[in-house]
Structure 1
Amino acid sequence: MATGLSPSALGVPGVVAELRAARERWRTSQHRLQEVGGRELPAREALAEVVGQLRGALFPMRLGPPDLRQEHEDEYIAATLHTALGALLEQVRLELRHQARTRDSGETEADSQARALALVRAFGSSLPTLRQLLDSDVLAAFQGDPAARSVDEVLLCYPGIHAMIHHRIAHRLHMLGTPLLARIVAELAHGETGIDIHPGARIGAGFFIDHGTGVVIGETAEIGRNVRLYQAVTLGAKRFETDEAGHIQKGGARHPVLEDDVVIYAGATVLGRVTIGRGSTIGGNVWLTHSVPPGSRINQAQHTGAGPGAEAT
């Protein structure tokens, strides 16, 4: 050993025993059954590899292997999808089995297997539609940024596009009934870009996030077509409903609705189930908690003592 010391000298056996006790306490408190065999939940590492393969299949000559030739695109896509969807199938099986256990649904292993296969087939069949949506996002970024020299630069370099590739994949998985897989895919992009989009958010075609760092889009947000956000924009919840015990209640529409052609500038915060009307512009650092009609121009309040984030008037 590099240290020249035994595990006992370093206290390893005692730590192992205490960690085992901590795991057992957690599993007991969460009513987890004793698992025998392999992993019971999807693996982040496996999903990262699947998403990388899907990116290549969606954009083979830009995000695929560097030695790919155009005449071999279909062969590459077929082989890549076979590998990616096969790996995704195993992750879907893990989540569906976990759902069946935690919900005590009575679903058999055969039922879970059949449902997993149908889900993955449905996901695969949606990839052409996802490609069209992503093309609209790339074009929106190119047309909306005077610094963009080409659509290729946008696809290869822009963090907002990277985040949207993940989101389009994650949202489809979310809608198909695998929210844990979807959340992992979304968080992979969050960690890489600083853009936090919940997979439940509904986002229309031609969506452009410029710069991107610090953008937060909540689970029930609904965004129309040709919407543009800048860095540090938050589309969040204003308050959370609680039950009699004071616990936050899950679900419920609590995030903003942005209609078509809305622009929100850097640092703005829009909270609650409010509607930003079509063609509206929200200025930088605005704090907005009420709906505005179509064509509105909202700027930060200008009055003595109003600091950053003053509520719009």
Structure 2
Amino acid sequence: MAPKIQPQTTIDTIADICNHIQISQSSRHDKVPAIVNRLLNSWSTKECYEHISPVSIPSHDKIIEIVQQARRILFPGYFTRTRLHAANLEYYIGKETTDLYEKVGEQIVIAIRHDCRRNNLPCTRCEERSQELTLAFIESLPDVTATLATDIRAAIEGDPATDSPDEVIFSYPGLLAISIFRLAHELFRLKVPIVPRIMTEYAHSLTGIDIHPGATIGEGFFIDHGTGVVIGETTVIGNNVRLYQGVTLGALSLPRDAGTKLRHQKRHPTIEDDVIIYANTTILGGDTVIGRGSVIGGNIWLTESVEAGTRVMLKRPELIYANGRAR
């Protein structure tokens, strides 16, 4: 039996099967150049922001690498692939610290140079200054390590859910945020531009804990659970202070031009030694002082100071149940 001959496919048949021709005809690529011109015009008016400059801007990714490497130094053996022991510890820490010095120095000089260019400053000896600031930062690491040890002990003493420093170091978002803050604070104190804020916002993205690098925080600081904690730039916190989730240490309502008028002024509260602040409490204002040893209960709103040893609690609310009875 002779094979059946298929009919020849015609151009009209192809057009019916494939809509490529129609799709190509509907392309709007020709409209893109006009949009590009509008983008260029928007940047030229200076109403929008750009960084079109031969001067580099600090690298977000490299600053995160610095944070991770610094944590390997601060907590040797916890975040490393190398098994550490007495024979190789000095070599390992020496290599990591030297490498950290190089990375930090590179980002600091870029940050200074960018700041000069952005603000049209006279020469600030960026190369020389970066070496001085980098060394000062590296010199601060032993003190940061010692302070973090007090934070770990505070977590163990304040949280009955753990008795393990390993668990705190590996698992607690509060300690992660605090450790990154303490690194960033040293750079902030040295007046390094941009880099400290990138560090703490990285911690914020990981933990939900927002600590400005300019805040001053004493030893033995413990944030339990942590999500939603906000600590503003000019906050001063003493030793052995404990916060729970949702606590805000913030500023009072600010005017529209607050960025200019109130910059470098104290806008956030002072929390003295041995204070406990429970969940979802808000304390506002640069003149607000929470006295030593005070306990501030949950869901409190405070804009005024309290004396040392004060307990501030909400009156027990009336609960309304589904059956309509009040209890």
SS in 2 for 1:220: coil
Once the two structures are superposed, what CA deviation does each residue of 1:122-178 show, in whole Å capped at 9, x if it has no partner?
A: 000000000011011011001111111311111111110000110000111111112
Aligned to 2:17: none
- The match for 1:252 among 261, 265, 283 is 265
Q: Which amino acid aligns with 1:144?
A: G
CA distance in 2, matches of 1:162, 1:8: 55
- Structure 1 27/48 Cα, relative in aligned 2: closer, same or farther at 3 Å? farther
State the partner residue of 2:227. Answer: 213
Residue 23 (structure 1) shift: 5.4
Give the match's secondary structure for 2:267: coil
The unaligned stretches of length 5 or more in structure 2 are 1-19, 320-327
Q: 1-side partners of 2:122 and 2:37: how far apart?
A: 30
1:71 CA displacement: 2.7
139 and 13 in structure 1: CA distance in 2 versus 1, 3 angstrom threshold: farther
Aligned to 1:264: 277
Q: 1:13 to 1:86 in 2, by over 3 A?
A: farther
Who is 1:68 aligned against?
A: 84
Quote the Cα distance in structure 1 between the aligned partners of 2:147 and 2:126: 30
Match of 1:142 in 2: 156
**1:26-175 to 2 correspondence within 5 Å?**
26=43, 28-29=45-46, 34-36=52-54, 40-107=56-123, 111-175=125-189
Displacement of 1:286: 0.6
| Shift, 1:74, TM fit | 1.5
The residue that corresponds to 1:202 in the other structure is 216
Mark the runs of 5 or more structure 1 residues left unpaired by the alignment.
306-313
1:133 and 1:102 map into 2 onto residues whose CA distance is: 35
Give TM-score scaled by structure 2 length: 0.83
RMSD value, Cα: 2.8
Matched residues in 1 for 2:285 and 2:279: separation? 19
Q: How far apart, in 1, do the equivalents of 2:82 and 2:75 lie? A: 12
Compared CA separation, residues 33 and 300, structure 1 to 2 (3 A): closer
Give the stretch that moved more between structures: 18-27 or 223-232.
Answer: 18-27
Alpha-carbon separation, structure 2, partners of 1:22 and 1:8: 26
Residue matched to 1:182 = 196
How many angstroms does 1:251 deviate by? 2.9
Tell me by how many angstroms 1:45 deviates.
Answer: 0.6
Q: How does 1:298-309 map to 2 (within 5 A)?
A: 298-302=312-316
Matches of 1:8 and 1:226, distance apart in 2: 70
With structure 1 as the length reference, what TM-score do the two structures score?
A: 0.86
Give 1:299 shift: 0.5
Match of 2:4 in 1: none
What is the rounded CA distance, in whole Å, between the counterparts of 2:34 and 2:132 in structure 1?
43
**Whole-Å separation in 2 of the counterparts to 1:35 and 1:202:** 35
Equivalent position of 1:309 in the other structure:
none
Aligned to 1:22: 39
